[in-house]
Amino acid sequence: MRLHGRTLLRQRIFIAACLGSMLAPVLAAECDGSLASNLGGLRRAWLLSDGGVAAFAKLNINIDGYARAYHPRNAEAGSLIHLCNAGRVYLLDGNSYEGSESNATCTGRFMRDVGRIGAAGWTNPSVGVVNWYGILGRGSARVNGRAIQSVVPVLQKDGSGFYVSPTTLADRSFADEAEQTRYVNPLSIAAAVAPRSLLAKGVAMGSFGVAYNVNRRIAVPFVVGDAGPRIGEGSVALARLAAGLPLKDNVTRLERFAGQVDAPHVLWVFFKDAAEKFDSHSEAATTAKAQAAYQAWGGDARLASCVEQVPRN
């Protein structure tokens, strides 16, 4: 039987569509890429050929964004993280140090210096200043000719005495940075930390990815919610989900690190997606967007391929 031109064209389109549907899962399962050294604070990472970054790393827990993360009196007041993890001290003699550089520094020298600096009004260069990065800080001061930013810590408006704990991703509909609810709640949203080197590769704050615990065989889609020094940090919610634990509205100090993975047994994949607007009023919407982005990226089939192809650290 001889086919007319239009009939033949329709048949070719139908065949092409069928072939496309059969090939789509194959293409989606690919994890082609190239090796990158010293990216994201890791010895080895994998640059995906269609964009994005994958790497095996630990799963350390980032509690920033939680309303009860930091308090001037630390554990005595019920905070989950010691204040020494939130700042760096700059002294008049030119020395500076991280508050968390050791346990002795954390509970001793750092707290003594913070007490003196706070009593002097936070901006007195003759005493020293603190650059706050784990809590919201405002204003600046010059110490030994150097301008130090974010030196006055900001308390939450609710009178609880806790400091504002921000995340890089925020709900911009709140104009006031001191509004704690504008930030990503780490207890209810699976979120990951992206280092600056990943952001330079096109990974956007507010885009998505997936973390896969190879021992538990659990994949958790996440939103990129904060900036940090290296690949391998996730929110409390991400860690609990990856460990097969239920989410909780409140966690104790004993529970704060549940799900932490101390060896590089978690595959982190950061998609090269456009950033999505974050709405802190709809945490379920963020979770749904992360799941949809994971499926669009290739879902379980592609993740399985990456588990085999991405080099281990």
Mean pLDDT of 3-21: 37
149 and 39 in a common domain: no
Rounded distance between C-alpha atoms, residue 150 and residue 139, angstroms: 5
pLDDT exceeds cutoff 50 at 125: yes
Mean pLDDT of 113-125: 97
| DSSP-assigned letters across all residues of the chain | -PPPHHHHHHHHHHHHHHHHHHHHHHHHT---EEEEEEETTEEEEEEETTS-EEEEEEEEEE-TT-TTS--TTGGGGT-SS-GGGGEEEE-TTS-EEETTS-HHIIIIIIHHHHHHHHHTTS--TTT-EEEESSS-EEEEEEETTEEEEEEEE-B-TTSS-PBP---SSB-TT---TT-GGGB--TTTS-EEEEEHHHHTTTPPTT-EEEEEETTTTEEEEEEEEEEESSS-EEEHHHHHHHTTPPP-S---TTTTTTT-EEEEEEEEEE--PPPPPP-TT-HHHHHHHHHHHHHHHTHHHHHHHHHHHSPP-
* Cα-based distances in Å from 279 to 230, 260, 276, 289, 292: 26, 27, 9, 11, 16
pLDDT exceeds cutoff 50 at 7: no
| β-bridge partners, 148 | 141
90 and 53 in a common domain: no
Name the domain boundary from 105, 131, 164: 164
Mean pLDDT of 214-240: 96
Residue with tokens 């021992």: 215
Q: How confident is the model at residue 43 (pLDDT cuts 50, 70, 90)?
A: very high
Residue 201 in domain: yes
pLDDT at 274 (0 to 100): 86
Residue 218 in domain: yes
Rounded distance between C-alpha atoms, residue 240 and residue 235, angstroms: 9
How many percent of the chain have pLDDT more than 70?
Answer: 91
pLDDT at 29 (0 to 100): 61
140 and 233 in a common domain: no
pLDDT exceeds cutoff 60 at 55: yes
Handedness of CA 141, 161, 185, 242 (dihedral sign): positive
The total number of structural domains in the chain stands at 2
193 and 115 in a common domain: no
286 and 230 in a common domain: yes
pLDDT at 273 (0 to 100): 84
Q: What is the pLDDT of residues 59-75, one digit of tens each?
A: 999 999 999 999 999 99
Q: How confident is the model at residue 3 (pLDDT cuts 50, 70, 90)?
A: very low
Residue 297 in domain: yes
Q: Pick the range with the lowest mean pLDDT from 25-39, 102-116, 125-139, 273-287.
A: 25-39
Rounded distance between C-alpha atoms, residue 111 and residue 84, angstroms: 7
273 and 201 in a common domain: yes
Residue 185 belongs to domain spanning: 29-64+181-309
pLDDT at 14 (0 to 100): 35
196 and 58 in a common domain: yes
Q: What is the pLDDT of residues 243-276, one digit of tens each?
A: 999 999 999 999 999 999 999 999 999 999 889 9
Across the chain, mean pLDDT equals 90
pLDDT at 16 (0 to 100): 36
How many percent of the chain have pLDDT more than 90?
Answer: 86
Q: What is the pLDDT of residues 179-225, one digit of tens each?
A: 999 999 999 999 999 999 999 988 999 999 999 999 999 999 999 99
| β-bridge partners, 33 | 48
pLDDT at 12 (0 to 100): 36
